[in-house]
Chains A and B, each alone.
Chain A
Amino acid sequence: MTSPLQQKLKITGPTAVTANRLADGVVVWLTAAHGWSTHIGEAAVATTSEAALALLNAAHADENHAVGAYAARVAVEDGRASPANLRERIRVDGPTIAFDAAA
């Protein structure tokens, strides 16, 4: 099996690394300081495959804080990342259906 450190990664645009926080599963984004933020706007954004792979490797090395890390394409405006597709929009904003737990 190929080590994550040896894997190649091809990106098609600005890319951030996201995962789920270990203790509660909350969606988190890897920051430039290699910490984790619940705000996508604080995510480190890579524009080359090498940079994205470096972020991903940093994420995989921190599995005691966040798990299931992967590289996700993002949109960037004013230097801040935002979701580029429906899947990431749902991860950031939550399900597109209204909760009705009090019904």
Chain B
Amino acid sequence: MYVYDEFDRAFLGERVDDFRDQVTRRLSGELNEEEFKPLRLMNGVYLQLHAYMLRVCIPYGTLASNQLRALASVARRYDKGYGHFTTRQNIQFNWIKLSELPDAMAELAAVGIHGIQTSGNCIRNTTTDPWAGATPEEIEDPRLYAEVIRQWSTNHPEFTFLPRKFKIAITAAKHDRAAIRVHDIGLRLHRRGDETGFEVIVGGGLGRTPFVGKTIRDFLPKEDLLSYLEAILRVYNSGGRRDNIYKARIKIQVHEVGTEEFSRRVDEEWAQIREGALRLDEAAFDAIRDRFVNPAFEALDDAPAALAEALKNPDFARWHANSVGPHKVPGHAIVTISLKPVGKPPGDATADQMDGVADLADTFAYGEIRVAHEQNLTLPHVRQKDLPELWRRLDALGLATPNVGLISDIIACPGLDYCSLANTRSIPLAQRLTERFADPERIADIGRMHINISGCINACGHHHVGHIGILGVEKKEQEFYQVTLGGKGNLKTRLGELIGPAVSEEEVVDVIERIVDTYLDLRESPKETFIAAVQRLGLDPFKERAYAAR
């Protein structure tokens, strides 16, 4: 965990005071809505269908147990008892009253969290691998660099009014768990000889015009990270379109000017600032590194006897098989907590569940929790010997669904049940799909599968990169859903392809099941995953069967 210094704490306190004053002046009529709206957005406050929504930033998805308890408290005291974890490692509260927001924000600021830069045309929360600092795959902990970016981008005077919002993601592992190729900037930490640096990917994004990001630099020395990011942002800020909100993201600029020209402009800008104040030396990294408090891991052996014994229980073994990952420290493991129980809204957690997970983190996981972009939680450091007891207690909280990475581990946006932009509902469809695919043995047989649902073309459910992507469209005030196949959001990102006309709300679950059955019938063996089968077979067999019964 990164520990904020006095500057950070003072800054958060002042922002709460400012916002309290702004809310008071708005409620008294001293500020009108036009004046107030940008102020609330800068603090992560949106107006949605039913109420104000507060989006709280969870820097690079890392939470301490006391912070998760503060989120639970806000859910309980100021909302309706739950929160919704998002694909950008944040959390949203859907029922906050404007008049109570300053008090909620003060509670959060007391533990170092806030909604600043979770909205507006600024640099948003830098996201990273929820397994950072724990996975043996990574070459370094990417959170160090995410924190460097947080400090640089917070209240950056030049980048507070960009053409459009701007999102950065970092990974340092060979498996991309941060979807870096569909971000405005994706950073992949890798080594060249003894040196550590970044592959820099620019112009990825989903929404109504999806693009896979383009690499503009294979290897950026880490000391140049901020000067190079600043150069990219300057090129975007000065050349990105401001005449059309739908063409204002950097992906459109990169597409319109071409990767080579964009890269040339960045280099030109970079040459002017590279040796300046943004150059990072080891002392700067050390100063930030020193504020990260890492667990004092116990010296333990892998595969303890208690775990081997527990694995004889098939229910525990099933959960273990898809929820537990390898850890870099012997005797430890990474645990993903599914927030996708059958029939429940994906990504939601109740206040009681948040408190429960915080307690479990303190008891079994050195007090640390992560939020994954798949809308699940992660306990990054769990002693293997504690896994059976952890599983039992998660089960008691309703959080031991053995479906991580499987078909019912669905990513879904809030959709028309909450969002003022949505055309169709996402959550009820996700619930119906989890009910259709509720049998643990069946979903284990189907194997690795990602379904992503977006309730409108803005693609907050990342449907373009779902193995099965579902996009809600409205036709004559009725809900219809387009289906795409073959997308994936890892380092080999591909956008899914549309299989045909949109299907009605009544039909869509059956259509998905027929696609899945087609895969089960045509796969070469259970080892051939759904996405591999789609790539081998093409869309035609799935298309035929999907529409056969219509």
Option from B26, B345, B398, B416 in Cβ contact (under 8 Å) with A90: B416
Q: Decide: A95 near B418, CB < 8 A? Known: A24-B97, A101-B81, A101-B82.
A: yes
B50 touches A100 (CB 8 A): no
Q: A23 to B95: give the CA distance in the assembly, Å.
A: 12
Determine the chain A residues whose CB is within 8 A of the CB of B97 once the complex forms. Answer: 23-25
B398 touches A24 (CB 8 A): no
Report the minimum CB–CB distance from B91 to chain A (whole Å): 15
Quick one: which of A25, A27, A67, A68 has the most chain B CB within 10 A? A25
Task: List which B477-533 residues lie within 8 A (CB) of chain A.
Answer: 477, 479
Determine the chain B residues whose CB is within 8 A of the CB of A103 once the complex forms. Answer: 344, 350, 352-353, 398
A27 touches B50 (CB 8 A): yes
Bitwise interface map of A from 73 to 103 toward B, beta carbon under 8 Å scored 1, else 0: 0000000000001110011001111011111
Task: List which A1-36 residues lie within 8 A (CB) of chain B.
Answer: 20, 22-27
Q: A97 to B346: give the CA distance in the assembly, Å.
A: 12
A25 touches B50 (CB 8 A): yes
Q: A64 to B49: give the CA distance in the assembly, Å.
A: 18
Task: List which B29-78 residues lie within 8 A (CB) of chain A.
Answer: 29, 32-33, 47-52, 75
A100 touches B47 (CB 8 A): no
CB closest chain-B residue, reference A94? B50
Option from B27, B48, B82 in Cβ contact (under 8 Å) with A99: B82
Report the minimum CB–CB distance from A16 to chain B (whole Å): 16
- Interface locus among B205-213, B381-389, B401-409, B425-433: B425-433
Q: Decide: A96 near B350, CB < 8 A? Known: A25-B98, A63-B32, A91-B50.
A: no
Q: A22 to B97: give the CA distance in the assembly, Å.
A: 9
Report the minimum CB–CB distance from A30 to chain B (whole Å): 16
Q: A46 to B96: give the CA distance in the assembly, Å.
A: 32
The answer, yes or no, to whether B9 is at the interface (CB within 8 Å) is: no
A20 touches B51 (CB 8 A): yes
Residues of B within 8 Å of A, CB-based: how many? 37
Q: A101 to B431: give the CA distance in the assembly, Å.
A: 16
A interface majority secondary structure: loop
Option from A25, A95, A99, A102 in Cβ contact (under 8 Å) with B352: A102
CB closest chain-A residue, reference B431? A97
Option from A68, A87, A97 in Cβ contact (under 8 Å) with B47: A68
B417 touches A101 (CB 8 A): no
B81 touches A86 (CB 8 A): no
B82 touches A100 (CB 8 A): yes
Q: A27 to B75: give the CA distance in the assembly, Å.
A: 21
Option from B75, B98, B416 in Cβ contact (under 8 Å) with A86: B416
B51 touches A67 (CB 8 A): no
CB closest chain-A residue, reference B351? A101
Task: List which B302-330 residues lie within 8 A (CB) of chain A.
Answer: none
Q: A100 to B80: give the CA distance in the assembly, Å.
A: 9
Report the minimum CB–CB distance from B428 to chain A (whole Å): 6
Option from A24, A63, A85, A101 in Cβ contact (under 8 Å) with B51: A24
Report the minimum CB–CB distance from B29 to chain A (whole Å): 4
Bitwise interface map of B from 237 to 274 toward A, beta carbon under 8 Å scored 1, else 0: 00000000000000000000000000000000000000
Q: A10 to B542: give the CA distance in the assembly, Å.
A: 43
Determine the chain A residues whose CB is within 8 A of the CB of B431 once the complex forms. Answer: 97
Determine the chain B residues whose CB is within 8 A of the CB of A85 once the complex forms. Answer: 477
A96 touches B352 (CB 8 A): no
Report the minimum CB–CB distance from B388 to chain A (whole Å): 23
The answer, yes or no, to whether B99 is at the interface (CB within 8 Å) is: yes
Determine the chain B residues whose CB is within 8 A of the CB of A87 once the complex forms. Answer: 49, 416
Q: A27 to B47: give the CA distance in the assembly, Å.
A: 11
Determine the chain B residues whose CB is within 8 A of the CB of A101 once the complex forms. Answer: 75, 80-82, 350-351
Determine the chain B residues whose CB is within 8 A of the CB of A99 once the complex forms. Answer: 80-82
B47 touches A20 (CB 8 A): yes
A97 touches B26 (CB 8 A): no
Q: Decide: A97 near B350, CB < 8 A? Known: A25-B47, A87-B416, A91-B50.
A: no
Report the minimum CB–CB distance from A88 to chain B (whole Å): 10
Option from B49, B81, B98 in Cβ contact (under 8 Å) with A24: B98
CB closest chain-B residue, reference A68? B47
Quick one: which of A85, A91, A101, A102 has the most chain B CB within 10 A? A101
Q: A91 to B351: give the CA distance in the assembly, Å.
A: 24
Option from B29, B48, B82 in Cβ contact (under 8 Å) with A64: B29
Determine the chain B residues whose CB is within 8 A of the CB of A22 once the complex forms. Answer: 26-27, 98
A23 touches B98 (CB 8 A): yes
Determine the chain B residues whose CB is within 8 A of the CB of A20 once the complex forms. Answer: 47, 50-52
Bitwise interface map of B from 427 to 445 toward A, beta carbon under 8 Å scored 1, else 0: 1100100000000000000
- Additional pairs, 19, CB under 8 Å, beyond known A24-B98, A94-B50: A20-B47, A20-B51, A20-B52, A22-B26, A23-B97, A24-B99, A25-B52, A27-B50, A85-B477, A91-B49, A95-B50, A95-B417, A96-B417, A96-B425, A97-B345, A99-B80, A100-B344, A101-B350, A103-B344
Would you list 12 pairs from A and B whose C-beta atoms are within 8 A, ordered by A residue?
Answer: A20-B50, A22-B26, A23-B99, A24-B51, A24-B52, A25-B95, A67-B47, A68-B47, A94-B50, A95-B418, A101-B81, A103-B352
The 4 closest A-B pairs by CB, nearest first: A101-B81, A25-B51, A95-B417, A24-B97
**A→B interface (CB under 8 Å):** 20, 22-27, 63-64, 67-68, 85-87, 90-91, 94-97, 99-103
